[in-house]
């Protein structure tokens, strides 16, 4: 086939199929051939569903993305009858019993589901390296991580397996891999995309589901496909005034944008990330926007502690539920996961509620900032993608974690101030993204810069609650002014 599918976004590929230039079968065969050629090195596919994809195109298929191959994320994007491992050994043979609203809407849009992408164990890290699946690698540099938790999705899209893939974001898990892999990543507002029926809201509403894409128009069109509540959803957001895809033709107007390159947790921010924001600020000014240094009045250390409290509590709940449902032992999980679960079990309900109550203060402070500024601009990450294995917990600390778990010593650790230490350690590389999750607002990462090492650098924009339209209008303007699809070559 003369057409290089990796040169097309999903919208363009759907058009080729619709006008008969290519058949869905030809596209699927070429996609699978590319995956098979590169996958041993990249390791982005957790679950192979190619035969279900073939069955799908054998019948009638319609929708805005009819015939376009698509990869789900291997966590909470349930497809009845398909394995869903969540990157965890205890779930290596788990089969979903129901199909999520997300997957149903993807299928109704004509997307051909051919697999699910790797994620760190239970989606808990900003790197995708597991005992179950091994390490997933970044197509820009195979020695580095693509990020997490949507690391497999980002690697697959960046490598040209598929033009877009399912992703989710509970603390930066769409935006961080987008930054590391040179992609566009939009985290929607709370309630924009239903998490049902298996979930009401993930992580107290902090988790949002969408896609990773190579183009802004694909992200906007997919948000039209995915947006809307399901019966029984606990939070229903106001629908958009018009389709999100229609926003791309509208001038964003003269926006007031505040920016900061200061790490909220007080850590180091690499010069490439700082330069990316400064160059973006100059580009924005050249387009007529007002840009100045400003940030919301939020205690970044407190926000990090609140995020880690959420983390501990939900890891404890998830591991307990999986052990109960699979009859597995807690020792089946990675020592890091077990240590986090131990801390979660040791945290009192009162302490969790106290930390959760601070979210209101963060949301009020961000809303006050947005009363003056339309958007908040930051680096997406403070540091670039780590080398594979660099973030592994040293073996002695893994053994210590196991001992702490067996002895139930989590309460002693909590009293020792471990939350502050873990907050910095876990968020030092990626301290900018959690704000949008704990305040439920939309945010996006755009690949507007390249570092001195040639790797992509993402910049993040945070909007008001429900402000996806503003983000998409600006994203389309920036994409036209500084195209990124032609920048650099993938190593695969």
- For the CA atoms of 22, 27, 29, 32, the dihedral, rounded to the nearest 10 degrees, stands at 160
Alpha helices by DSSP H, listed for 109-199, are 151-158, 175-181
Considering 149, 332, 401, 423, which one is annotated as catalytic?
149
Tokens 């032992």 correspond to what residue?
A: 329
Closest CA to 406 of 331, 311, 315: 331
Tell me the pairing of strands 164-169 and 290-293. Answer: unpaired
Q: Which residues, in sequence order, are bridge partners of residue 450? A: 456
CA 72 to CA 86: how far, in whole Å? 12
CA-based end-to-end distance of the chain? 19
- Per-residue burial over 44-78, b = 16 or more CB atoms within 10 Å of its CB, e = otherwise: bbbbbbbeebbebbeeebebbbbbbbbbbbbbbbb
- Four-residue CA torsion sign, 409, 395, 318, 466: positive
Left if phi > 0, otherwise alpha if psi is -120 to 50, otherwise beta: which for 224? alpha
Check whether the bond before 390 is cis (ω within 30° of 0).
no
State the DSSP code for 7.
G
Look up 332 and say whether it is catalytic: no
**DSSP label of 40:** H
Pairing, β 256-259 against β 375-379: parallel
The answer to whether the beta carbons of residues 354 and 434 sit under 8 Å apart is no
Ranges assigned E (strand) in 308-432: 375-379
Q: Among the options 150, 173, 332, 423, which is catalytic?
A: 173
3-state secondary structure of 117: strand
Helix, strand, coil % over all residues of the chain, rounded to 5: 45, 15, 40
Going by C-alpha positions, the residue among 76, 342, 335, 351 that lies closest to residue 203 is 76
Q: 113 and 166 in contact (C-beta within 8 Å)?
A: no
Query: Residue 29's CB: how many other CB atoms inside 10 A?
Result: 13
Q: Which of these, 163, 170, 250, lies nearest to 212 by C-alpha position?
A: 163
- Can you tell me the distance from the alpha carbon of 367 to that of 156, in angstroms, rounded to the nearest whole number? 36
CA 205, CA 200: separation in Å to the nearest integer?
8
Residues taking part in catalysis: 73, 149, 173
């Amino acid at each position: 086939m003369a057409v290089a599918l990796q040169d097309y976004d999903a919208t363009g590929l759907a058009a080729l199929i619709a006008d008969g230039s290519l058949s869905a079968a030809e596209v699927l065969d070429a996609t699978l051939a590319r995956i098979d050629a590169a996958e041993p090195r990249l390791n982005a596919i957790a679950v192979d569903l190619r035969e279900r994809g073939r069955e799908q195109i054998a019948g009638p298929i319609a929708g805005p993305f009819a015939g376009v191959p698509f990869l789900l994320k291997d966590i909470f994007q349930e497809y009845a009858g398909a394995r869903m491992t969540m990157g965890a050994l205890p779930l290596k043979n788990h089969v979903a019993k129901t199909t999520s609203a997300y997957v149903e809407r993807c299928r109704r849009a004509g997307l051909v589901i051919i697999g699910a992408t790797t994620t760190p164990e239970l989606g808990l890290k900003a790197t995708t390296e597991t005992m179950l699946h091994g390490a997933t690698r970044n197509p820009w540099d195979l020695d580095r991580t693509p990020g997490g938790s949507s690391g497999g999705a980002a690697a697959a899209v960046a490598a040209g397996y598929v033009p877009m893939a399912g992703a989710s974001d509970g603390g930066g898990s769409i935006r961080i891999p987008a930054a590391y892999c040179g992609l566009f990543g939009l985290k929607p507002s709370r309630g924009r995309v239903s998490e049902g029926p298996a979930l009401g809201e993930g992580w107290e509403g902090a988790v949002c589901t969408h896609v990773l894409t190579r183009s802004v128009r694909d992200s906007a069109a997919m948000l039209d496909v995915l947006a809307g509540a399901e019966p029984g959803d606990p939070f229903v957001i106001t629908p958009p005034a018009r389709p999100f895809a229609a926003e791309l033709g509208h001038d964003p107007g003269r926006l007031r944008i505040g920016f900061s390159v200061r790490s909220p947790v007080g850590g180091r921010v690499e010069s490439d990330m700082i330069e990316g924001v400064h160059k973006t600020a100059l580009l924005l000014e050249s387009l007529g926007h007002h840009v100045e240094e400003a940030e919301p009045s939020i205690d970044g250390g407190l926000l990090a502690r609140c995020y880690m409290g959420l983390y501990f509590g939900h890891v404890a709940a998830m591991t307990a539920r999986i052990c109960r449902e699979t009859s597995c032992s807690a020792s089946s999980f990675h020592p890091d996961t077990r240590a986090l679960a131990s801390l979660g079990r040791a945290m009192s309900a009162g302490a969790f509620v106290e930390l959760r109550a601070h979210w209101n203060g963060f949301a009020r402070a961000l809303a006050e900032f947005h009363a003056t500024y339309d958007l908040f601009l930051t680096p997406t990450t403070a540091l670039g993608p780590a080398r594979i294995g660099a973030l592994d917990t040293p073996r002695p600390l893994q053994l210590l974690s196991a001992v702490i778990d067996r002895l139930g010593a989590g309460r002693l650790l909590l009293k020792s101030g471990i939350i502050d230490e873990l907050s910095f350690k876990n968020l030092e590389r990626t301290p900018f993204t959690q704000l949008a999750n704990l305040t439920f607002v939309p945010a996006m990462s755009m690949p507007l810069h390249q570092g001195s090492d040639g790797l992509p650098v993402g910049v993040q924009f945070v909007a008001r609650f429900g402000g996806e339209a503003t983000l998409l209008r600006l994203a389309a303007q920036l994409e036209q002014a500084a195209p990124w699809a032609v920048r650099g070559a993938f190593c695969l």
